[in-house]
Amino acid sequence: MENLRILIDNRQEERLATAPLYKKTEQILNALGCDDHELSIVITDDAQVRELNRTYRGKDEPTNVLSFPMQEGEFSDITPGLLGDVVISLDTAEAEAIAAGISTDERMSQLLVHGILHLFGFDHELGENQAREMKEKSLALLRRIEENPDLTAF
């Protein structure tokens, strides 16, 4: 992991610790065989996620997680080591956790895995097979996190 760079912009620092987030991200990337890349994570609120969702997806509403992959598209060869950015709304994550009867930590782990998998080209919106493949990979990564007691709390 010596060449892996994980950059975290935690705009919700008073509500969420960064160290466990870093460790979980490192564990996920290790499981995906990614040890020579850069990834940025932004933890923010519904207002900022809504703005990003409107600007980049044309959807004027907050969402739980957005991914901005840098390994695909016309300019992917400019920075080949840059995986991209994952933006998570802590507001939505907390609301979804309450609705699902799970902890915010568990929901954040789910969203982190989901966002990172999008950076690796997984896309549940491309059909049933892709959705199933992404779900299976997500569950495997979440089990890996749960098996490590040092990674269980944000």
Enumerate the domain spans of the chain: 5-151
pLDDT recorded at residue 145: 85
* Cα(106)–Cα(112) distance, integer angstroms: 10
- The answer to whether the predicted template modeling score (pTM) of the entire model surpasses 0.85 is yes
Q: pLDDT category, 1, cuts 50, 70, 90?
A: very low
The CATH architecture assigned to 5-151 reads 3-Layer(aba) Sandwich (3.40)
Q: 124 pLDDT band (50/70/90 cuts)?
A: low
Selected residue with higher pLDDT from 96 and 132: 96
Strand 65-69 to 38-44 pairing: unpaired
CB 87 within 8 A of CB 63: no
pLDDT at 154: 45
As a whole number, mean pLDDT of residues 21-35 equals: 88
